[in-house]
Structure 1
Amino acid sequence: MKNSSIYKLSALMVLTLSLAIISCSDWNEVESLGLKNQSLKEQYPKLYADYIQDLIKYKTGEHKVTFVSFDNPQRDPVNQAERLTAIPDSVDFICLNHPDDVSPEIQKEMTQIREKGIHTLYAIKYENFKEEWEANTKINPEFTEEEALAYFGKRTDDMLAICDKYNYDGIIIDYTGQSLVSMVPENLAKYNKRQKNFFNRIVSWREKHDHKTLVFYGNVQYLVPENLSMMEKYNYIALKSVLSTSGDDIAVKAYLALQAGEDVKDSLYVGVNPVPANRFIACVELPQADDKEQVKGYWNTKDANGNKIVAALGTAQWIGQYSPDFTRSGLFVMSIQNDYYNNTYGYLREVISIMNPNK
């Protein structure tokens, strides 16, 4: 964000640090004085209040949103890299990768960052349920489909309950699915039944939590046509574009999602595409320090200097471009703790700046 109060706050941070360094240089011996270091909020309450006001104005105004996922420790954090409060303030949503058994300190930080307009989410991954069930059937092949539906239902209900347990601000529904094109009728019927069993619970939860953020992360074209009616209930549709190596590939994924609705809008949805075109976000992962071949977190294209383009930066540029058929609403950056260790959130800040250059 580029406004005067933020610049002033940054200047005060530098001044405070400088004074602390000067004071330290005058010490002759170590002595416990029982002093409590004041936060910037405590030292400069008016300036901090102005900063928060401008930050919330930015968050509630028109801008490209930034989602991130974060490997929260399953204990209290012990360093800055493990703290939610260290994540850049311009981030809109943080998805915790370990949503249950959240430590007291992390719960406290979830409340603290809400003051900055940062909302905490977690993901419910249908594929995890599927893998668990397949492991169960290897042990006992006699399990019935009714038992499978009961298992999926309970796992879904248990994961949904976590939202209220820790007062999350919303949920991401991660559903990969599979192509319907070559399914035989028997398999399609079972696929549809399991899909409805899962998403009916999501829709029911949504009706009781309309103040929460709900995100669909998956392949819309792998939803059974009758189930597309629920798409309007999601605030955002996250494209599975982590493995995309160009902006064109991300655009194809958006068009595939829209086409799924176009194909059935006249037969099932009175001529209206049930897939909203105004809430697509792209997903990327950041480069890994040990990836010498520059595969993960990079596009195949190169910049003017012959270097591979970092996927997050390339996608941020793509998000800022105009599209006549759908809205590019923002970006989801996966596992940002890697960026903290490798670049001290440098990539993340640059991504936000590229998407929102005049904010």
Structure 2
Amino acid sequence: MKSNIIKFFFPVVMLFAFVACDEWTEIESLDIHRPTLEEQNPELYAQYMQALRDYKARDHKIVFVSVDNPSTAPSQRSEHIKTLPDSVDYIVLKNPADVHPTLVAEMSLVREKGTRVLYTIDYDALEARWAQILEEEENNQPEESETPETPDESDGDEGEELQPDPAVVLEQRFLDFCREQTALQLSYCDRYGFDGVIVACTGKNYSGMADDVQARYIARQEAFFGTVGAWYGTHAGKSLSFCGKPQYLADKSILAQCDYVILPAIDVQSVSELSLVLVQASVAEVPADRFVIQVSTVSATDPTDETGYFLGLDEDGKSRLRAVKAAAQWTLAASDGTKAGLFIADAQNDYFNISMVYRNIREAISIMNPAPKNR
């Protein structure tokens, strides 16, 4: 579970494991106090925490997890970020606009373990919201009057003003909207004390676009990433990562400032497809030393949802192969690009396990960062 620190703190790790196994059956309303390791043995706990931070400071496979945090107070253990495995490097909250004070306090707790808490700003979501705004405006427009227009009796063209191109005006409105909304979402970082942001953009292959369409595509990305770049210039101590298809960025210079380049692969169904995602991203000007592949957990509520599974069976020949495990094993295979680690989406789905909470996430961490063997 803790990779290199297990060897030295095995009793502590086992204590945490047994406590974690029971937590998901607890009733939240019961006021039962169980002494923590910090209370029982502060010195040993301090040594464990230092070993954990040292482990994360060393070279290892990075682990991101995202959680669907509620805006209300957490009502079950899976909604608390402090219950996530200690070896997780980054926790990504999916609802950054309204973080409950309970989770704000827990952000400080996990930070003591060397874990950083981030959130995502998604350009695609901004475009989708803009389309909704335009649709709402169109639906709210008054019907055109049937009264005939009065002819303009002014002499010639004297005093006539050229009207701006409506398409140009509309596009400028979007650019202003994009900058405003991006700046608003960036402000959450200071408001709640996040450790940084992930900027997401899927993008398109713009090389074959018509000149005017390509110019609009580039201008829109400049509005988004330019706002992010200006913010990062005053927040250099914060973490910045990119998520999406880096090969479709018109200006890839921002990637040099990013700690990691996260490649979404939630929809793939095989290891070979993971490799294809990596190959497609490995183009000129994209740093190949910081790739993180993103897969998902299996749904905890919908048995018909295929997300989180790969085709084929696990090593036991009976269980379905989970994307989390297969991707963890894939990160260890040699490739042209550096496989820096794994991003596991919707970690809360993996909490409820009868043998161990977050069992599949813990297994993935152990696969990528195995404990050293005695020689």
TM class by smaller structure: 0.7 to 0.9
Match of 2:93 among 71, 92, 96: 96
- Is 1:310 the counterpart of 2:336? The answer is no
| Counterpart mapping for 1:1-359 below 5 A | 1-2=2-3, 3-10=6-13, 37-140=34-137, 144-224=170-250, 227-259=251-283, 261=284, 274-292=285-303, 295-303=306-314, 305=317, 307-323=319-335, 325-342=336-353, 344-358=357-371
The structure in which a higher percent of residues are helix is 1
**8 Å CA contact retained: 1:218, 1:238:** yes
The CA deviation string for residues 301-346 of structure 1, in whole angstroms up to 9 with x for no partner, is 33451643211100000011222x2110000000111111356211
Give SS of 2:233's match. Answer: helix
TM-aligned CA deviation for residue 5 of structure 1: 4.2
What are the ranges of 5 or more consecutive residues in structure 1 without an aligned counterpart?
18-33, 262-273
* Highest RCO, 1 vs 2 (Cα 8 Å, sep ≥ 6): 2
Q: Give me the whole-angstrom Cα distance separating, in 2, the residues matched to 1:35 and 1:310.
A: 36
Cα deviation for residue 292 of structure 1 reads: 4.1
Please state whether the residue corresponding to 1:180 is helix, strand or coil.
coil
1:269-314 CA-to-partner distances (Å, cap 9, x unmatched) read: xxxxx21110000000111245545621111233451643211100
Going from structure 1 to structure 2, the CA distance change for 1:9 and 1:175 (only over 3 Å counts) comes to same
Percent identity of equivalent pairs: 35
Instruction: Mark the CA change 1:303 to 1:346 in structure 2 (over 3 Å): closer, same or farther.
Output: closer
Contact in 1 for aligned 2:247/2:286 (Cα 8 Å): no
Higher mean alpha-carbon deviation, 301-310 vs 338-347, is at 301-310
Matched residue type, 2:183: D
Task: Report SS of the residue matched to 1:144.
Answer: helix
Q: Tell me the TM-score normalised to structure 2 length.
A: 0.82
Secondary structure, counterpart of 1:140 in structure 2:
helix
- What does the per-residue CA deviation read over 1:1-47, in whole Å, with 9 as the maximum and x for residues that have no partner? 24244312145569999xxxxxxxxxxxxxxxx99653221211011
**Corresponding residue for 1:29?**
none
| Secondary structure of residue in 2 paired with 1:313 | helix
Give the conservation status (yes or no) of the 8 Å contact 1:286–1:312.
Answer: yes
Change (3 A) 1:13 1:85: closer
Cα distance change of structure 1 residues 53 and 145 upon mapping to structure 2, 3 Å threshold: same
Contact 2:7 2:371 in 1 (8 A): no
Contact 1:5 1:47 in 2 (8 A): no
Residue type of the alignment partner of 1:277: A
SS of aligned partner of 1:245: coil
Q: Structure 2 vs 1, CA of residues 110 and 186 (structure 1 numbering), >3 Å: closer, same or farther?
A: same
| Partner Cα separation in structure 2 for residue 174 and residue 123 of structure 1 | 7
The one-letter code of the counterpart of 1:95 is V
What is the alpha-carbon distance in structure 2 between the residues aligned to residue 15 and residue 179 of structure 1? 50
Structure index of larger Rg: 2
Decide whether the 8 Å contact of 1:206 with 1:233 is kept in 2.
no
Secondary structure of the structure 1 residue equivalent to 2:97: coil
Aligned equivalents of 1:11 and 1:339: distance in 2? 19
Paired residues of 2:66 and 2:344 also in contact (CA < 8 A):
yes
Alpha-carbon distance change, 183 to 306 in structure 1, aligned in 2, over 3 angstroms: farther
The residue aligned with 1:23 is none
Q: TM-score of the superposition, structure 1-length normalised? A: 0.85
CA distance in structure 1 between the aligned counterparts of 2:19 and 2:260, rounded to whole angstroms: 40
Q: Which residue of 1 aligns with 2:143?
A: none
Secondary structure of the structure 2 residue equivalent to 1:309 = strand
Q: 1:14 to 1:220 in 2, by over 3 A?
A: closer
Gaps of 5+ in 2: 21-30, 139-165
Contact 1:5 1:50 in 2 (8 A): no
Measure, in 1, the Cα distance between the counterparts of 2:82 and 2:131: 39
Moved over 6 A (4+): 14-17
Aligned residues: 327
Q: Secondary structure at the match of 1:357?
A: coil
After superposition, the Cα gap between the structure-2 partners of 1:13 and 1:351, relative to the gap in structure 1 and judged at 3 Å, is: closer
Aligned pair in 2 of structure 1 residues 84, 140: CA closer, same or farther (>3 Å)?
same
